[in-house]
Amino acid sequence: QKEVEQNSGPLSVPEGAIASLNCTYSDRVSQSFFWYRQYSGKSPELIMSIYSNGDKEDGRFTAQLNKASQYVSLLIRDSQPSDSATYLCAVGPGKLIFGQGTELSVKP
């Protein structure tokens, strides 16, 4: 059974700080890795995808992948109250296996 694990949180950070979200996965043959943001009562929104080891940056977001450690993370720099949401880690290929999500709260 393929598994994706995330700390459920809540993770609370002050405005302007760096938020660090972590995810581990069990299936070594996983090839694609995604971070989705889900606001309360809304559907998940794709914010980052990463396919190879290392870092990928997009604006204030950086995804990091370490396939040897089966670990993927998301850093959010200069966190804003509007970043408060649940962040879902998902692993592919094909059908996506999701973690349970980490709730992030950014305090003004």
Partner 1 sequence: DAGVTQSPTHLIKTRGQQVTLRCSPKSGHDTVSWYQQALGQGPQFIFQYYEEEERQRGNFPDRFSGHQFPNYSSELNVNALWLGDSALYLCASSLWGVDEQYFGPGTRLTVT
| Binding-site ranges for partner 1 (CB under 8 A) | 4, 31-32, 34, 36, 42-46, 49, 88, 90, 92-101
Closest separation between CB of residue 18 and partner 1, Å? 24
Closest separation between CB of residue 8 and partner 1, Å? 8
Distance CA 34, CA 74 (A): 10
For residue 24, the Cα-to-chain-centroid distance in whole angstroms is 10
Q: Which is nearer to partner 1, 33 or 64 (CB)?
A: 33
Q: Which is nearer to partner 1, 16 or 93 (CB)?
A: 93
- Record the tokens describing residue 2, joined without a space: 């393929």
DSSP class per residue in 60-94: TEEEEEETTTTEEEEEESS--GGG-EEEEEEEESS
Q: Which is nearer to partner 1, 43 or 108 (CB)?
A: 43
